[in-house]
Structure 1
Amino acid sequence: MVDRPIDYSQLEEGRHCNYWELDDTLRAEAAWAYPDAEFEWAQERLSELGDVTGHVIADNSEIIDREGHELRTYDKHGEVQNHVEYHPLQHENDELVYERGLTHDVFHAPPGRDEPLGFQHVLTQQTILSFVDGGFVCPISMTTGAAIVLDKYVDDDHPNADLLAEYFAGLTSRDYDDHIEGAMFLTEKQGGSDVGANETTAEPTDEEGVYELYGEKWFCSNIDAEGTLALARRPDAPEGTEGLSLFLVPHTKQSGALNDQLYRRLKDKLGTIAVPTGEVEFQGAEGYLVGEPEEGFKLMAEMMNFERLTNATGSVGCMGRALLESKVQAANREAFGSTIDEYPLMRRDLVDMQVDYAAALAFAFEAASHYADYMADEDDETAFKLMRLLVPIAKYKTARMAVDTASYACEIQGGNGYVNGYTTEQLLRDAQVLPIWEGTSNILSLDVLRVLNKEAAHEALFPLVREHVEAVEHPRLVDLAETVEDEFADMQEAMVALAGESQEYAQHEAKQLADYIFDVVTASLLLERAQSEIDADENGRRVLVAEWFVETRFEQPDARGITDGESLPHEYFDEIVRYAPLDPDALVEPAPADD
């Protein structure tokens, strides 16, 4: 275990360390999200993953990002071969994670356990991996997502049951030699976020449940996956999303022949180089119907819920690495006779980044917990409502926060932050896709309106916030709770007002509402976490995190706080940024003496 407070000057950069052991914020949120027995079992494995990620995978990923992969669409005879030549280090990284059960352990009992783990586990693992490479995590996430759909919607009566069971086994294998990866080919050039405008067609063959697909998919990440899920429209199916069916389209047919599709080119992307993304043209490609016909959008939405959540935890991982790089730089970089983390303004910046990171983690893992509860029991109405509401907000907010955090991390590095090989420029390039993947900020905000109207998700949200706020007892937290309660009341008033407005006005304010829900829910979570830490460890450090979040989000001091004389980030820098413990009693002002 790392000594507290952490001396970040002992690191030269944010690698060659154990990300799990170094990050109290991540470990505390995981401990809260996991069922107790599962966390006790998982801790050692998470520490091992944090170590191998910080050493081997981090170094490999930097080289892969610089050198990339190559698509060889044709062989030397001009015949289609659709071959992606992966960087050799990609195979080493893949083996390191798949044989640790990243796509296995939520579906099958891992070694040493009698039951599979909840989805908190794979999401925590992906958070750790996202400290080094969001592009590398993308195929891992889609592999789990594809397995979720096959596991849930393919029963013994399905015409392709045996065949699809083989693909499920490959997607979830712990044996690297038997493992296959998944993908989701959703976007078409003319449709984008308007999935109902998709034009790919599926023509039936003589074999039940087997179709030939024709059409173009425009943005296909993990282009050569063997377990790709794609939407297409059968003959005479309705227009729009209600007419789409879902198909598994492999890289090769069951006969072993190359499937009838053309990988036209890889996208020359800004970032996420580790995952090959390209354009695919289906030319009669063999596809196997998954689930019921014309229910493809519903099935794909199941995968989308998970992918949006992994986008959020991936954003959090990116923020964690950007923050770590910034702490190390600030502890080592000398200017005008002192390291820059000694200067009040840099201290305030690092505290802001730390509190943003804590906020993003708390909200993302709250959403992950409700998602895991829903996946364990689909009749849990509360878990369903909270999952459907919190997941799109988590994806929207953390993605934007990751871009901002990575951008400022570049600035802290100075000129090196803009140069290949210094990590922060890769973090920024990778982060920029996070608001785009799995739905843009506008699409997600509109989804929030939809969930509130259609699913009445507020019925589960309001008790959740009350429960967290009412849990606080520490005097300094009680004062903060009053502020949060006032904002909570205003947020409810805003929801009621929007419900009575026109659709146009509600859409106009959708992003504002999503922001408001994030801030109120996150504040309640940070208050509850702070009280729990006091109760369990007699440590008041997280009180300061909650206090700074509430002050900077909700309180409107005179002259923007410039004249109030408060300097919490400077006064408590070690406690907030370096994880120094703090006696909760030190945060209580002594009662005035009797005259």
Structure 2
Amino acid sequence: MKSGNEFRQAPIQGETHTVSNVATELCDYNLYAADTALQEAVHREGGQWGDADLRRFGNRCGQARYIELGHLANKYTPELDTHDRFGNRVDLVRYHDAYHTLMQSALEEGLHSSPWTDPAAGAHVVRAGKSFMQSQIEAGHGCPVTMTFASIPSIRQQPEVAAMFEDKILARHYDPRNVPIDDKLGITVGMGMTEKQGGSDVRANTTQAHPIAQAGPGQLYSLVGHKWFLSAPMCDLFLVLAQTGQGLSCFAVSRWLPDGSKNALNVIRLKDKMGNRSNASSEVEFRGAQGWLIGEEGRGVPTIIEMVSLTRFDCMVGSAALMRAGLANVMHHCRQRSAFGAKLIDQPLMKNVLADLSLEHEASIAFCMRMARALDQKDQDEHEANLARLATAVGKYWICKRGPQHSYELMECVGGSGVMENSLYPRLFRESVINPIWEGSGNVQCLDVLRAIGKTPAVLRSFMAEIGRAKGGNRLLDHAMAELGKQFAAIKPSDAHSLQFQARTLVDQMAVAFEAALLVQHAPHAVADAFCASRLGAQQVHNYGALPAGADVDAILARAWQI
């Protein structure tokens, strides 16, 4: 017989193992100081005067408590109250305090206004640099910030309407209350274009607008219809497209009327989106909502196109920011994590992948900042105006399109932990698929490129002249430029079907040549040579991690991570 002592259980241990060989959170660092490519691009494109301010803001963005705001704003997503508890229609969207804190920060920094209030040389460059860093923290709140920023050129086309709202649009004051505009020091602006039956084809819109008293620019109209997408429904003012007797027209529709009563703009429901979760996107109906006509009747698209162009620019910046946020975190991870006897950062194949991802980020930020300079100078320089018209569409298509694969590849670098919802990477991936679709999908951008070239051939001459500045710097780029020139020379305007069928191929080549030209002119040889060899060489493999032998990956990685 066994004694009682033989049946005693082993002592219960408090821990089964020691946690080791894992990374730490990336925080308490300076987003600007750690990003050499960003710093150089800001200086190169005319924003060097903002260096100290960008460095200050980069430090703020890198603090742990600030990074946490992005997590909270996406964990606790917006909720809609169509009515209050007494039965009054309120159309109130409730957000987490983290969202409001990010909005307040963005507006205090002038991300919605600085190029308009302080139009110095390089103003768009400095503003884009700040937006680039803010977007690394959280993308969703950038939607109303961007629309507010982009609304000014369109609203200014109707001076009397601009006089009513512009000062409050440009004010660095965030007021989230659901109250009339007269009760606020600062307001935000949204946009309503697409409808169920039309989508990107806004000329198929059915929303009708009729003059309340008299017709004409600056007059009040009554709108009846719907919008399938109206982002940020808690904005105070919206630019909306609707049909009049003369065709599609643009209107400024406020949530509250001048007499303090609620306008008949009713939020039906919030969109259940896979990404951009912190930002409320909605379906709305206009049930006699009043709005001021901006521009001439029937000129709605030309009136609002300036706003659309600027929101597309911010899509480029936002997608580049997602690349940088993921890259910084993965580089941080790979410097700490070991596998198969060595740190990930020291393993040849991982070096190839990380260096390739770094090249994509550097090319994207170079493209964005070059376009920021074009925005700064387009009113004084025809070449810059042509670039802003054509290359913005090229860049919006290409940089946004590169984002999802980039985000996925970063997740794979981390491994199984990279797909866990308590990490940053799933949010980055979900966000990465938004910008390629919003503000005009890939096909829309490519068709816009063809339209711009067909309508104004000078935009293509400026584009080719711009990339031609790098001629002689790299033989692969020289060959790509020559081939691109041959393709454009062979275009027959009568063969529209064939041209549209090949549009993506053509715009792909334009985008890569533009990025390569910027890097050949301005980046170290290690970066420019590896980019051209991998994107313009014979292999041209589109999966990341296929840099050819001889690429100086150590130099590329050292440049990409300066912490």
Name the TM-score, length of structure 2 as normaliser.
Answer: 0.89
Q: Counterpart of 2:172 in 1: which secondary structure?
A: coil
Q: Counterpart of 1:22 in 2: which secondary structure?
A: coil
Deviation >3 Å, runs of 4+: 557-560, 562-565, 569-580
Q: Counterpart of 2:469 in 1: which secondary structure?
A: helix
Matched, 1:144 2:149: yes
Report the alpha carbon displacement of residue 563 of structure 1 after superposing the two structures with TM. 13
Q: 1:459 aligns with which of 450, 458, 461?
A: 461
1:71 alignment partner AA = L
More deviation in 176-185 or 483-492?
176-185
> Residues 146, 564 of structure 1: CA spacing in aligned structure 2 closer, same or farther, 3 A cutoff?
closer
Report the alpha carbon displacement of residue 117 of structure 1 after superposing the two structures with TM. 5.9
Report the alpha carbon displacement of residue 412 of structure 1 after superposing the two structures with TM. 1.6
Alignment of 1:299-378 (within 5 A): 299-374=303-378, 376-377=379-380
Matched, 1:389 2:381: no
Which residue in 2 is equivalent to 1:549? 531
1:294-329 Cα shifts (integer Å, max 9, x gaps): 221101111111011110011110111011111011
2:101 alignment partner AA = E
Alignment of 1:495-574 (within 5 A): 495-499=488-492, 502-530=495-523, 542-556=524-538, 566-570=549-553, 572=555, 574=557
1:204-255 Cα shifts (integer Å, max 9, x gaps): 1126601111101001111121121001112x22xxxxx1111111111111
Q: 2:24 aligns with which of 12, 15, 29?
A: 12
Q: Percent identity?
A: 26
1:168 alignment partner AA = E
Alignment of 1:400-411 (within 5 A): 400-411=401-412
1:37-64 Cα shifts (integer Å, max 9, x gaps): x522x11211222222222432111011
Report the alpha carbon displacement of residue 527 of structure 1 after superposing the two structures with TM. 0.8
1:526-556 Cα shifts (integer Å, max 9, x gaps): 11103xxxxxxxxxxx211100111011222
Report the alpha carbon displacement of residue 147 of structure 1 after superposing the two structures with TM. 2.0
Alignment of 1:416-427 (within 5 A): 416-427=417-428
> Residues 573, 91 of structure 1: CA spacing in aligned structure 2 closer, same or farther, 3 A cutoff?
closer
Which residue in 2 is equivalent to 1:80? 89
Q: 2:79 aligns with which of 63, 70, 73?
A: 70
Report the alpha carbon displacement of residue 565 of structure 1 after superposing the two structures with TM. 8.7
Unmatched segments (≥5 aa) in structure 2? 1-20, 176-184
Report the alpha carbon displacement of residue 30 of structure 1 after superposing the two structures with TM. 1.3
> Residues 400, 140 of structure 1: CA spacing in aligned structure 2 closer, same or farther, 3 A cutoff?
same
Matched, 1:94 2:118: no
Distance 1:361 1:271 in 2: 22
Two-structure CA RMSD over aligned residues (Å)? 2.4
Distance 2:483 2:550 in 1: 28
> Residues 577, 91 of structure 1: CA spacing in aligned structure 2 closer, same or farther, 3 A cutoff?
closer
1:283 alignment partner AA = R
Distance 1:565 1:412 in 2: 19
Which residue in 1 is equivalent to 2:447? 446
Q: Counterpart of 2:286 in 1: which secondary structure?
A: strand
Alignment of 1:1-150 (within 5 A): 12-34=24-46, 38-40=47-49, 42-55=50-63, 56-109=65-118, 118-150=123-155
Matched, 1:198 2:205: yes
Which residue in 1 is equivalent to 2:196? 189
Q: 2:223 aligns with which of 203, 213, 233?
A: 213
Which residue in 2 is equivalent to 1:436? 437
Unmatched segments (≥5 aa) in structure 1? 1-8, 156-160, 238-242, 471-477, 531-541, 581-595
Which residue in 1 is equivalent to 2:253? 249
Asked if structure 1 preserves the Cα contact closer than 8 Å seen for 2:22 and 2:337, the reply is no
> Residues 345, 167 of structure 1: CA spacing in aligned structure 2 closer, same or farther, 3 A cutoff?
same
Report the alpha carbon displacement of residue 80 of structure 1 after superposing the two structures with TM. 1.6
Distance 2:402 2:413 in 1: 17
Q: Counterpart of 2:284 in 1: which secondary structure?
A: strand
Which residue in 2 is equivalent to 1:536? none
Name the TM-score, length of structure 1 as normaliser.
Answer: 0.84
Q: Counterpart of 2:360 in 1: which secondary structure?
A: helix
Report the alpha carbon displacement of residue 389 of structure 1 after superposing the two structures with TM. 1.1
Matched, 1:231 2:231: no
Report the alpha carbon displacement of residue 336 of structure 1 after superposing the two structures with TM. 2.3
> Residues 393, 173 of structure 1: CA spacing in aligned structure 2 closer, same or farther, 3 A cutoff?
same
Asked if structure 1 preserves the Cα contact closer than 8 Å seen for 2:319 and 2:435, the reply is yes
Distance 1:116 1:81 in 2: 43
Report the alpha carbon displacement of residue 464 of structure 1 after superposing the two structures with TM. 1.5
Distance 1:129 1:564 in 2: 31
Report the alpha carbon displacement of residue 11 of structure 1 after superposing the two structures with TM. 8.1
More deviation in 441-450 or 564-573?
564-573
Distance 1:459 1:201 in 2: 40
